[in-house]
Amino acid sequence: MIVNVTFNGEYNPADFPPFAVTTDLVILTVRPPSLEVLLVERAEEPFAGSWALPGGFVGPEQDLSDAAGATLTDKTGIELDTAHLEQLATFGSPARDPRMRVVSVAYLAMVANPPPAAAGRDAAAAEWQPVSSARATTLAFDHADVLEAGVERARAKLEYTTLATSFCAPEFTMAELRTVYETVWGIALDPPNFHRKVLGSAGFVEPTGRTATQAKGRPAKTYRAGPATTLTPPLAR
């Protein structure tokens, strides 16, 4: 039996070798036909030259969500109140960072129409990449697992929450919202049925009264996000 696993009152927490705590972000956006994720190219060891999820160490007096929010605004240039940010999962395998014991609290962000990525101070480059490409890359640390968890969370949440709207501009058409679903899920949805189900889900979207002219065809009515956060019933995948 491992004896020093459980805090038994005789152990002073400060006696333990220190952990470092970081946040890593899976920042997703929809750029049809791809779901894209923001990656940074690491400038320093370990994994110098590898692509990685943006992130950083948590300050000694800093809240976890503040650290994630700071990274999000720093890397994307996006205001916090226009993006969705939620905690994803925590990765703490003893071997995940060769320097020392590092526990990473991963966050998932969903943003709409981000400006082009710019390399920050700590990265050689930053780039929006299709998730399919990112999966084919060897990412630093255990970031492939983190990315997978983030994409799966996003997929699932579109089913039973209204979060798809956070991938859209403040004003959007039904086709744009549908394209978000089709891009994230990688399947085609029936436009008439999608239309009916979204409008039938109370508080999902509300009409603006305006229309958006298309390149071809009938202009589309525009909507903004409604007050609802959960979808009952869920939107079937």
Partner DNA sequence: AGAAATAAATGTCACTTCGACAAGAATAAG
Partner DNA sequence: CTTATTCTTGTCGAAGTGACATTTATTTCT
Give the nearest distance from C-beta 204 to DNA in angstroms.
13
Exactly one of 17, 192, 209, 227 binds DNA (CB under 7 A); which one?
192
Identify which range of 45-53, 79-87, 93-101, 209-217 contacts DNA by CB under 7 A: 209-217
Write the secondary structure of 117-167 as one string of H (helix), E (strand) and C (coil).
Answer: CCCCCCEEEEEEEEHHHHHHCCCCCCHHHHHHHHHHHHHHHHHHECHHHHH
Exactly one of 195, 208, 224, 226 binds DNA (CB under 7 A); which one?
195
Q: Which is nearer to a second copy, 92 or 130 (CB)?
A: 92
> Which residues face 221 on adjacent strands?
211
| Contact flag: residue 196 with DNA (CB under 7 A) | yes
List of residues contacting a second copy (CB under 8 A): 1-2, 4-9, 11-14, 16-22, 43-44, 55-64, 66-67, 70-71, 74, 87, 89-90, 92-94, 97, 99-103, 105, 120-122, 234
Residue 211 interacts, among a second copy, DNA, none and using kind-specific CB cut-offs from 5 to 8 Å, with: DNA
Distances, alpha carbon 24 to alpha carbons 36, 50, 182, 192, in Å: 16, 15, 26, 39
Give the nearest distance from C-beta 125 to DNA in angstroms.
35
Q: Nearest Cα to 103, choosing from 183, 23, 175?
A: 23
Q: What's 36's DSSP letter?
A: E
Instruction: Identify whether 33 is preceded by a cis peptide bond (ω within 30 of 0).
Output: yes
Residue 215 interacts, among a second copy, DNA, none and using kind-specific CB cut-offs from 5 to 8 Å, with: DNA
SS3 68: helix
Give the nearest distance from C-beta 158 to DNA in angstroms.
14
Question: How buried is residue 59: exposed, middle or buried, by Cβ count under 10 Å (0-12/13-18/19+)?
Answer: exposed
Contact residues: DNA, CB under 7 A: 173-175, 190-193, 195-197, 199-200, 211, 213-221, 233, 236
